[in-house]
Amino acid sequence: MKKFVNDPANFVKEMFEGIYLANKDKLKWVPEYNILYRADLPKNRVVVMQGSGSGHEPAHSMIVGPGMLDACCPGNVFAAPPMDYVYECTKILAKDNDKGVLHLINNYQGDRMAWDMAREMAEADGIKVGVVIIDDDVSVTNSLYTVGRRGVAGNFFVIKAVCAAAANGASLDELVELGNKVNSRVRSMGIALTSCTPPAKGAPIFEIGDDEIEIGIGIHGEPGRRRDKIRPASEIIDEVFAAVCDDLPFQKDDRIALMINGMGGTPISELYLLYGLAAKRAEEKGLTIAKNYVGNYCTSLEMEGFSLTMLKLDYVIESLLNEPAEIPIRVF
Amino acid sequence: MKKFVNDPANFVKEMFEGIYLANKDKLKWVPEYNILYRADLPKNRVVVMQGSGSGHEPAHSMIVGPGMLDACCPGNVFAAPPMDYVYECTKILAKDNDKGVLHLINNYQGDRMAWDMAREMAEADGIKVGVVIIDDDVSVTNSLYTVGRRGVAGNFFVIKAVCAAAANGASLDELVELGNKVNSRVRSMGIALTSCTPPAKGAPIFEIGDDEIEIGIGIHGEPGRRRDKIRPASEIIDEVFAAVCDDLPFQKDDRIALMINGMGGTPISELYLLYGLAAKRAEEKGLTIAKNYVGNYCTSLEMEGFSLTMLKLDYVIESLLNEPAEIPIRVF
């Protein structure tokens, strides 16, 4: 294994330390629970948190800040956060704030269990907790670690919309309704060229041939629909675009947000090439791309691959996506 | 070769099409010369352009916009732009604008030749051209394709500073002086874990063992100082930090910008882990990190690796780095 790590057991902790040191004036860090939260935590509105396995950065540990998450509490690499991490994080957010805490949860059984138990513990303390489950991956129904569909890069849109609404004073009930609405309108599918190597495992999580691709890959290397041979990018986009588009379905005159999400190891040059191909498909279909996103949003460590996400907009969601945000990852 | 490409010969063109389609309202695209430029080109101030080989994205084709480059004209992957690309781009920028055009050039012989000739052609047309050469890589003096030092990720700081100054009305002479000043205060060094595969070559540009790293890698795979065995991240940072720090040298009480730049295939989790280690070295050395940058700025396609860049700030440069910008790559 060649990675920039020290002791693999400390990988997540040392990553968090780096995020914290790069944002000391903006974030607080609780090392024993993998918690990062805003130094200027809001007190007079609902607060929003997420945390799934680590290894999907920038989701979720690098998107805490005004306009995005108020806190995150990921687990170890590809492991749900333990229930006490979620519980501690919920308590931090609810301190001196009775407006409620929104839990955003990607649909994996490990996450569901940890967050369910943590919510019960928090509710026993008198904390109001709302829940939104994200399950945007059209690739397969049920998976290695999931009953129902998996939650993947579409979570970005749920996060962005509900966090903007929370900043603008939405109630806990309104946020749950909004989050469910965005989730119901967002669809994704991913393709892998290579596996990734979790530091603690020290070896690839699956084998794939030098001429093979996995169609419908999960973000933890879960199998998709099938293996295929590598093909021209335009043929790959044709299949992924159709699978995503037909699922909702997206229809002529729909106004959409289109995301090409990198899996971590794909150069952004290829992501923009894929975006160009997808944008032309969308135009042929009569869809209007009102917002576009190209880059790494929800990754699988250094996996080479991408996912395509489409969100059917309405004027409320589009306004929320246009709201400002300020997070650790930035361009200049 | 597994990549998201169609015909490798069209790789750069299709990438440019994707960038353009994602930013149709903000950019203009001249396909035959690989030129992207601002749709709202400034007319009453100096305009700034850069372009080196492609394959280093987001540099330079994804950083055209207000506050950053006014235009770019890269060549093919790891190839300098032909002189006529540079000349055509210069003419576009100088149309109805007599304030002058600034050429930012990374120090590679191929680039120097193309830009020199293009400048002469433009000057023969009566266009005022200023030149800043960037050569921040401390790894080696002279290299496969370079006399003197190579220009690598430090070019980001030159671009950001001079483009902010241009937006604020600096003259061509002032910009050349500023660019040279920033270049004289910025130092970089890179490490590679893996090679990359240019689409047209279809094979890695160098061989490297499963347990080997290249210390002082160039962004086109040029050899660095030596091969070594993979080591803990903290030992790698110790060596890179010392090499960069001792070169200027950076000294106690210096106020610096610190960048951990990904080479394209390194997960951002590892980049933040490296940042944390470097930030602690800087603190031990008595340096103040006033600005930090963690992410992909100047890459080598899908190479796994990173570079560390340090810039010695003064109040002028720091103010310029704080200026706003708006470019195709963005986070939300």
The pLDDT tens digits for B210-237 are 999 999 999 999 999 999 999 999 999 9
Comparing CB atoms, the residue among B276, B293, B302 nearest residue A265 is: B302
Residue A199 has pLDDT above 90, yes or no: yes
- For residue range B230-252, what is the model confidence (pLDDT) as tens digits? 999 999 999 999 999 999 999 99
How far apart, in whole angstroms, are the C-alpha atoms of residue A290 and residue A320? 13
Give the DSSP letter of residue A36. E
How far is the alpha carbon of B173 from chain A, nearest alpha carbon, in Å? 25
Inter-chain touch B276–A21, beta carbons under 8 Å: yes
Q: Is A46 near chain B, with CB under 8 Å?
A: no
CA gap B327, B324 in Å, rounded: 10
Contact of B307 with chain A, judged by CB distance below 8 Å, is answered with no
> Would an 8 Å CB–CB cutoff place B267 in contact with chain A?
yes
Query: Domain locations in chain A?
Result: 8-184, 186-321
In the predicted model, what is the mean pLDDT of residues A66-89?
97
Dig out the tokens for B59 from the structure: 């540099």
- Please check whether residue B297 is in contact with residue B156, taking contact to mean a CB–CB distance below 8 angstroms: yes
| pLDDT (0 to 100) of residue B144 | 87
Could you list the beta-strand ranges (E) of chain B. Answer: 27-30, 35-38, 47-50, 71-72, 101-106, 129-134, 186-192, 212-215, 226-229, 255-262, 288-295, 305-312
- Burial classification of residue A251, based on how many CB atoms lie within 10 Å of its CB (0-12 exposed, 13-18 middle, 19 or more buried): exposed
Q: Is A56 a catalytic residue?
A: yes
Cis ω before B249 (30° cut-off from 0): yes
Residue A170 touches chain B, beta carbons under 8 Å: no
What's the rounded Cα separation, in Å, for the pair B181 and B154?
A: 12
Mean pLDDT for B19-27 is 97
Q: What's the mean pLDDT in B296-325?
A: 97
A243-290 per-position pLDDT tens digit = 999 999 999 999 999 999 999 999 999 999 999 999 999 999 999 999
CA distance to partner chain B, nearest, from residue A250 (Å)? 20
Q: Is B320 in CB contact (< 8 Å) with chain A?
A: no
**Contact flag A292-B22 (C-beta cutoff 8 Å):** yes
pLDDT at B332 over 80: no
Helix (H, G, I), strand (E, B) or coil at B197: coil
> Under an 8 A CB cutoff, do B265 and A236 touch?
no
Residue A1 has pLDDT above 80, yes or no: yes
CB-based contacts of B55, cutoff 8 Å, min separation 6: A267, A269, B77, B78, B196, B198, B220, B299, B300, B301
What average pLDDT is seen over chain A? Answer: 97
Model pLDDT, residue A142: 87
pLDDT score, position B330: 79
Collapsed DSSP state (helix, strand, coil) of residue A295: strand
B5/chain A closest Cα distance in angstroms = 5
pLDDT of residue A330: 79
Mean of the per-residue pLDDT values for chain B? Answer: 97
Q: Which of A45, A99, A185, A220 is catalytic?
A: A220
Q: Does A66 touch chain B (CB under 8 A)?
A: no
**Is A60 a known active-site residue?**
no
Averaged pLDDT, B35-44: 97
Inform me whether the C-beta atom of residue A265 falls under 8 Å from chain B C-beta atoms: yes
Q: Which two tokens stand for residue B268?
A: 């951002």
List the single residue in A4, A22, A230 with the smallest CB-CB distance to B2: A230
Residue B18 touches partner A, C-beta closer than 8 Å: yes
- Supply A266's token pair: 């794909």
A-chain residues within 8 Å CB-CB of B163?
A: none
Q: What is the DSSP letter of A99?
A: S
Task: Indicate yes or no: CB of B22 within 8 angstroms of CB of A279.
Answer: yes
Nearest 5°: phi and psi at B7?
-70, 120
Task: Domain B8-184: state its class.
Answer: alpha beta
Cβ of A18 within 8 Å of Cβ of B57? The answer is: no
Cβ contacts of B272 on chain A, cutoff 8 Å: 15, 18-19, 22, 57, 62
Pick the CATH number of B186-321 from 3.40.50.10890, 3.40.50.2000, 3.20.20.80, 3.30.1180.20: 3.30.1180.20
Residue contact A276–B18, C-beta within 8 A:
yes
